[in-house]
């Protein structure tokens, strides 16, 4: 048995309705620009042409693949990942005050 990541793409249309765009099992050796370009090219080829914002967790190569596939798209790191990343710059003793209960 091998641990492998599973990636889910969810689109939200202009009416606020969510649509599952795809589910992919990631490579065992880790994802990179080639993996993300392939995944995003598949979405584009299936008709996803105009993306306003892509919220992601900043995986290696993903933000660059997004702007290559859809140049006008804003690649936004999700709030949870931004908060976790910001904790690296705070003292451990301050974490309880910074992390909401």
Domain boundaries, the chain: 6-98
Tokens coding 86: 């910001």
Q: What is the mean pLDDT of the segment spanning 9-32?
A: 91
Q: Of 48, 58, 52, which is closest to residue 74 (Cα–Cα)?
A: 52
What pLDDT was estimated at residue 45? 97
Task: State mean pLDDT over 1-27.
Answer: 93
Say if residues 33 and 59 touch (Cβ distance below 8 Å).
no
First CA to last CA distance, the chain: 36
Instruction: Decide if pLDDT at 101 tops 70.
Output: no
Give me the torsion for CA of 68, 35, 51, 71, rounded to 10°. 0
- Of 58 and 92, the structure prediction assigns the larger pLDDT to 92
pLDDT digits (tens, 9 = 90+) for 32-64: 888 999 999 999 999 999 899 999 887 788 999
Do 65 and 37 form a contact (C-beta atoms < 8 A)?
yes
């Amino acid at each position: 048995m091998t641990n492998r990541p599973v990636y889910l793409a969810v689109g939200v249309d202009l009416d606020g309705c969510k649509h599952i765009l795809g589910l992919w099992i990631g490579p065992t050796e880790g994802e990179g620009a080639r993996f993300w370009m392939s995944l995003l090219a598949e979405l584009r080829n299936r008709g996803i042409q105009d993306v306003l914002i892509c919220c992601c967790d900043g995986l290696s190569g993903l933000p660059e693949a997004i702007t290559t596939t859809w140049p006008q798209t804003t690649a936004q790191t999700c709030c949870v990942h931004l908060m976790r990343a910001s904790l690296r710059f705070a003292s451990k003793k301050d974490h309880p005050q910074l992390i909401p209960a």
